[in-house]
Structures are given as C-alpha cells and as structure tokens.
Amino acid sequence: MITPGLRGYVLEPPVGDHKSSSKSTSKSSSKSTSKSTRKQSATDLLPAALAALAQSFTVAAERGAPGSGARRRAWLDTFDWRLYRAGLVLELEQASRGARLLLSQADGTPRAEQPVTGWPPRRPAQDLPAGPVRDQIMALISPRALLPVVSAVSTVSVTRLLNADGKTVARLTAERATVTAAGTAAELPLRLSVAEVRGYLVQARKAAALLAAVPGASPDGQSVFIAALTALGRHPASYTNNVDAKITAELPGSVAVARLLLRLLDTLELNVDGVLHDIDTEFLHDFRVAVRRTRSAIKLLGEVLPAADANRYAGEFKWLGDLTTPTRDLDVHLLGFAATSGHLLAATPADLEPFRAFLVRRRAREFRRLATALRSPRFAAITDDWRKALLAVRDAGASKKRRQPTAAELAARTTARAFRRIAAQGGAITPDSPPESLHDLRKRCKELRYLLEFFAPLHDPVAYRKVVGDLKQLQDCLGDFQDSQVQREEIGALADAMLAEALSGGPGVAAATLLAMGEVAARLTVSQAEARADFARRFARFAGPAARPRISTLLAKPGPPAKAEQPAEPAPPAEPGPKNS
C-alpha cells in the first residue's frame, strides 16, 4: 500500500532561467508559448531529479500507476468564498470513469468525497446530488452556487525507485500543471513528491534528501490550489459585500463619501453577471443591498456631493431598487418554501405544490423583465456616469472653495442625527401604534446601520460591535414583523392572481391549495404578533438607559457625543416600509 506523499518539492530552473509565467489565453500565440514553456520544465528538470535519484536507486517509469496520466481538476467555491473562509477546499476531479468531488481541509486532510457524474457546477447548492460532501457543505454554502475558481490540467508521471533486489521502495510522482482562471493561464513549477512504500521509510527519506539537493528544488509549501491562485494573481476571499472603503477621520467628507459610493458601485457591478446568468439568488440580494446602501448614502450624506448628481442618482437608484423587488420577493418565498411546507398542520406539503409552481412561473416572468432592464442602455449609463461623477468628486479632493466637513465630522453629525430619530420614533411607539410606525422605524434603523458600517473604521471597535449587535437584533425583530405582514398580504394577492390565471384558461387552482395558503397566512399572522410582542424589549436593549453610555462612547470618537442621549426630534409621518431585503 502506498502512503500519501511524504515529501513535496517544487522544482524551478535556477535563478536567471525560466520562471513560471502568467499569460492570457485569449491570444492564439499563447498556446505555443505554453508548449515551449512546458517543454523546458519537462525535459530539463525531471531528468535532473531522476539523475539525482539514480545515485542510490534504480529508477523505472510506472505506466498506468494509480493517479498517473492526464488529470483535469477544478476547485470550486461560492462567489463569496464561503468554503475558503471556513478552511475547506473542494475539488472537482474529472476522469474518464466519471467526476467526483473531494472535500478536504486547507492543510490537505481529506474530509469526504462523492461521485457527481453529470453534475455541472454553476447551479445552486440545492442541485448538488446527495452524498457525504453535500452533507458537509450544504448548510455552509446554501443558497449559493458552487463556481469554478481555478481549473488545472496536469500531466502526472510516476517513477518507481527500486532497491538492489529490484523491489519498489518508494515512488516519485511528478506533476506538471497548467492552471487557468478567468481567461488567464499560468504554468506551475514542476511538483515532485516522494511516496513511501510501507515499511521502507528510510529509503523514502533518502530519496527526499537526494531531491532536496537538486538545483532549483525547494520544499513545496503550498497546495496546488493555493499555488494556482498565487500564480494567477487571484486573491482568495477577495469578494465581500461588506462596506470596507478606506476612510480616515481627516479625509474631506466628499472624498470619503465618494470612496464609499465607489466601493458600493464595485460591489453592484461585480454581481451583475451572476444576476443575469441567474446563478443563485444571492447575486441579486447583494446587488440590492448595494443599491439600498447607495440610496441611503445619497440621502443621508448627499450634502457633500454635487446637488445635480445627488438628485439624479437618487431617482436612478430608486428605479433599480424597485426593478429588483418583485424577483427578490419571489426568491424569498421560494427560498423559505420548504420551511413553510414543514410548518403546515392541517394541510399537506402536496397541497402547496401548485402554489410553488405558480411562484416559479411568476418568478421566471419577473426575472425576464429584470434581465431586460439590466441589459438596457439606461442601466449601462447609470453605472458608467455614476462612476465618472464619483471619480470626479474623489479626485477633486478638498480643493473646493467652501469649507466642507471632514469624514469624522460628517460621521458624527449624521450618525447622531440618525440615533436621535430612532430614539424619538421608537420611544413614541406604544402597543396601540399602527404597523406603519414600526415599518418606518425599520427604515430608520437600516439607515443607521448603513451609516455605522460606512464609517466603521472611525468608531471605537468595542462600542461599535456592541451597538451594532443590539441594533441587528432590533432590526431582526422589526424585519420579522414587517416581512410577516408583507408576505401575508402577498399570499392574498398571489391567491387572487392564481384564480385570475385559472379563469383566463391557465392551470386551475384546487381548493386544497388555497386552504393551505390560508394556513401559511395564518402562521405569518402568529409570527407577526410574536415579533410585535418582542419589540419593546429589543428597543429598550438598543436605545434604553442602559445602552446610552455605549452610544455616547461610539459617537465620542468621530465627533461630539452631544445630543445623542436626548432624543428630541418628533417622529416624522409614517410611510410604508420596504419589503424583504
């Protein structure tokens, strides 16, 4: 039996000679470059290693050895690198006998594997066939799809190292890999590893020592996956939908806001392709979060931007928000469908199936409308012009005639104001207040949350974590309250639409389905009442007397804590709240 690789080395030509190169595959000439590069590695370096080993062993090529020959692999992860962040590596290996998924820890320790013949990546996690790998990653990645991060085509050769009796005492595996990602290819250095044959450790160590002495050999400190990312200049975990613009306290307010908005625009644009290809629902979610944050930033911080830009883009981003709402609402219904079915008491999940089919049809229709809009000249103009406008503000810097606030001053003023509004509005809510007052408070809380996130680098980290934690719990409570109401109303509207569709010659709707939908609506009413009952406690925790010192600390650093502790502003008139995030 062969144990896994005992010693790994990468073999590169000594300094001054060839180095691994990165090149574009889009040009036809690149193939010949690739071939000549590979030739150099193969013909010059492997024989040097074999010659070194021949000092102590007889070397014999082993044809048809397990794992030898051509090897095609791809490493998969979600768009937001959930597996990488969790210390996991997922490899899709394509072989003539079929494909299989291999899950391992970052250090190479295997976790699980399963065959996945015929399964294409780029589909949401739910479509992954049942098996041990799915069992281990489903909760982590759902509802995201797995996408190829890097692909590799390798040639692997195995050489047996024989002792004087002609017995195989170790094996040398040599792998030459060309890796590609996003149209860029690179050749990795020749990778060599010595595998011990059981009971012959001394000989394997001897072989490793001989390899280590070959000019150009260095210990192989990286997996092929990480080496491939490095060679291709890809940074793992590079995507996040967090607002992490580089903001400092003394930065002119306009520059800070432009940086924030550019960062949000980057996030938005990074998600467009995934939305258009409908890879998974989270592309649209992140797209919408970027839109909402942008709208909030324009509303709350737009005073430092040219007024014409602020006015135009407030309208354009509202258009984008409204455009994406129907599809997202249907996504939310569909994502929670299994849980909804599971809660039925009187009806059965089968009764709800026609409702699910209806949601799927409707979602397909709404998605087409959304995709058309995202391919429109209007959308292209928004992103292009908005970027130009923001770059102009950022590059203009502080050279304006009138004095403008620093980032710290802007943060202090706007955050304190947002706190005051929440304290006033929330404090005025009684058990008899209409639902709209809670919906409106939810919007104010979202705005505050965004402001805190925009200026996070300027805040005291301990106070920030605590305040944001409490705010998040209050938001969850308000979100449950509003989402339950909105979904209940939507179920009523969808039931009407299903009946209308049936009357106009579409698929009929059974009474059992409508009754099951009624049961779902009733459960949403219960959820809403539970959230309502929890509100006072959540609000007191966030904005009550015990929380005020934390808020003061938070506001003290970027600006004067001043009036945050004394809510003064009257609650503005209530307005309908936004739907699902």
Partner 1 sequence: MKIYATYNIKGGVGKTTAAVNLAYLSAADGQRTLLWDLDPQGAASFLFRIKPRVKGGGKALIRGTKTLEGAIKGTDFDNLDLLPADFTYRNMDLLLGTSERKQTRKIGQLLRPLAAEYDNVFLDCPPSISLVSENVMHAADVLLVPLIPTTLSVRTLDQLTDFVAGFDGDRPEVRAFFSMVDRRKKLHQEITKDLLAERSGVTAAAIPALSLIERMSVERAPVNAFAPRSQAARAFRALWSEVLSTQ
Q: What residue ranges bind partner 1 (CB under 8 A)?
A: 1-2, 66, 160, 165-168, 197-200
Residues 344, 454: Cα–Cα separation, whole Å:
42
Determine how many CB atoms are found less than 10 A away from the CB of residue 49: 23
Q: Which residue lies nearer to partner 1 by CB, 10 or 197?
A: 197
Q: Which residue lies nearer to partner 1 by CB, 3 or 21?
A: 3
Residues 79, 143: Cα–Cα separation, whole Å:
11
Distance in Å, CB of 5 to partner 1, minimum: 15
Q: Which residue lies nearer to partner 1 by CB, 56 or 223?
A: 56
Q: Which residue lies nearer to partner 1 by CB, 157 or 168?
A: 168
Distance in Å, CB of 197 to partner 1, minimum: 4
Distance in Å, CB of 172 to partner 1, minimum: 15
By 3-state DSSP, what share of the chain in percent is helix, strand and coil, each rounded to 5? Answer: 55, 15, 25
Distance in Å, CB of 207 to partner 1, minimum: 15
Residues 6+ apart with CB under 8 A from 499: 509
Q: Which residue lies nearer to partner 1 by CB, 198 or 402?
A: 198
Q: Which residue lies nearer to partner 1 by CB, 1 or 308?
A: 1
- Ranges of H-type helices in 181-280: 201-212, 224-232, 253-276
Distance in Å, CB of 210 to partner 1, minimum: 20
DSSP state of 459: S
Burial of 348 (0-12, 13-18, 19+ CB in 10 A): exposed
Q: Which residue lies nearer to partner 1 by CB, 60 or 522?
A: 60
- With contact defined as beta carbons under 8 Å apart, do 542 and 536 qualify? no
Distance in Å, CB of 6 to partner 1, minimum: 13
Residue 149 pairs in a beta bridge with: none
Distance in Å, CB of 158 to partner 1, minimum: 11
Q: Which residue lies nearer to partner 1 by CB, 144 or 160?
A: 160
Residue 504 CA from chain centroid, whole number: 42
Structure tokens at 255: 């520059």
Which uninterrupted H or E stretch holds 21? none
Among 386, 367, 366, which Cα is nearest to 378's? 386
Our CA dihedral for 284, 287, 289, 294, rounded to 10 degrees, sits at: -150
Distance in Å, CB of 195 to partner 1, minimum: 10
Q: Which residue lies nearer to partner 1 by CB, 110 or 461?
A: 110
The DSSP-derived string for 86-115 is TTEEEEEEEETTEEEEEEEETTS-EEEEEE
Q: The tokens 């104010």 sit on which residue?
A: 444
DSSP state of 165: T
Q: Please report, for residues 78, 110, 237, 282, 283, the alpha-carbon distance to residue 86 in angstroms, rounded to integers and kept in the order given.
A: 12, 15, 11, 18, 20
Residues 6+ apart with CB under 8 A from 382: 313, 316, 317, 320
Distance in Å, CB of 204 to partner 1, minimum: 11
Distance in Å, CB of 196 to partner 1, minimum: 8
Among 509, 484, 506, 126, which Cα is nearest to 352's? 509
Among 424, 460, 419, 416, which Cα is nearest to 562's? 416
Q: Which residue lies nearer to partner 1 by CB, 160 or 443?
A: 160
Q: Which residue lies nearer to partner 1 by CB, 99 or 169?
A: 169
Residue 514 pairs in a beta bridge with: none
Distance in Å, CB of 524 to partner 1, minimum: 52
Distance in Å, CB of 49 to partner 1, minimum: 21
Determine how many CB atoms are found less than 10 A away from the CB of residue 308: 9
The DSSP-derived string for 347-381 is S-HHHHHHHHHHHHHHHHHHHHHHHHHHTSHHHHH
Q: Which residue lies nearer to partner 1 by CB, 201 or 556?
A: 201
Note the maximum CA span of the chain.
Answer: 94
